[in-house]
Amino acid sequence: MGRLPRDRPRGQLRIAFDVTALTFNGVWQYVRRHGLLSEALDDQGATAISRRFQLALAWLATGAVLGAVLPVLGVAVIAAFNAFYWLPIRGESPRPRAS
């Protein structure tokens, strides 16, 4: 039985990252356009989240391309992506309501 080419797993990983990011963006756009968001999330928060998701597409694609050339660099870019997205952004969480 022959072995798979060495680049095949990396190519599949790049495709998986991009498909995941595209799917998540698609779901977010659907939910936002059809008014399915919580009333606690205002327009400013929804805009902040949308910008962050759009950045994710470019970031993951960049990490995948760099990883194809130099795997260590690709891992570093994806690790930075994970760290960045772990941090909260202004407007992402609902503001406390006055009692």
Domain ranges of the chain: 9-86
Distance of CA 37 to the CA centre of its chain: 19
pLDDT above 70: percentage of residues in the chain: 80
| Rounded distance between C-alpha atoms, residue 57 and residue 20, angstroms | 9
Q: What is the pLDDT of residues 28-42, one digit of tens each?
A: 889 989 988 888 788
User: In whole numbers, what is the pLDDT of the chain averaged over residues?
Assistant: 79
pTM of the full structure: 0.60
pLDDT digits (tens, 9 = 90+) for 1-27: 455 455 566 667 777 777 887 888 889
Classify each residue of 73-93 as buried b or exposed e, where b means 16 or more C-beta atoms within 10 Å of its C-beta. Answer: ebeebbeebeeeeeeeeebee
Q: Within 1-99, where are the H helices?
A: 7-33, 43-69, 71-86
